């Protein structure tokens, strides 16, 4: 029992210190955000997603048509 208490007390103290230090860290100021720049990569990613969605729908429609007309 003494061994269990010996291991539990430091863990409990560390937890209590962490809970006390947490609100202090939360109130710290956050660094200023860098200005956003648009170099076209987000537009390219949007176009790529739309093209992949079109390819997925086209593939689905071809396979459904193939199953419907396969006697």
Residue 22 lies in a domain: no
Residue 65 lies in a domain: yes
Domain region containing 64: 41-71
- The set of long-range contacts for 20-26, using a CB threshold of 8 Å and a minimum separation of 24, is none
Number of structural domains in the chain: 1
Gap between the Cα atoms of 9 and 2, Å rounded? 11
Gap between the Cα atoms of 3 and 10, Å rounded? 12
Residue 32 lies in a domain: no
Residue 25 lies in a domain: no
3 state DSSP class of 19: helix
Taking the model in full, what pTM does it have? Answer: 0.44
pLDDT tens per residue across span 6-58: 677 778 787 777 777 766 655 666 677 777 777 777 889 999 999 999 999 99
Q: State both tokens at 54.
A: 């079109």
């Amino acid at each position: 029992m003494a061994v269990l208490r010996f291991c539990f007390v430091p863990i409990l103290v560390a937890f209590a210190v962490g809970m006390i230090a947490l609100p202090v860290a939360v109130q710290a100021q956050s660094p200023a955000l860098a200005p956003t720049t648009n170099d076209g990569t987000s537009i390219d990613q949007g176009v790529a997603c739309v093209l992949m969605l079109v390819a997925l729908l086209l593939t689905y429609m071809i396979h459904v048509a193939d199953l419907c007309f396969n006697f």
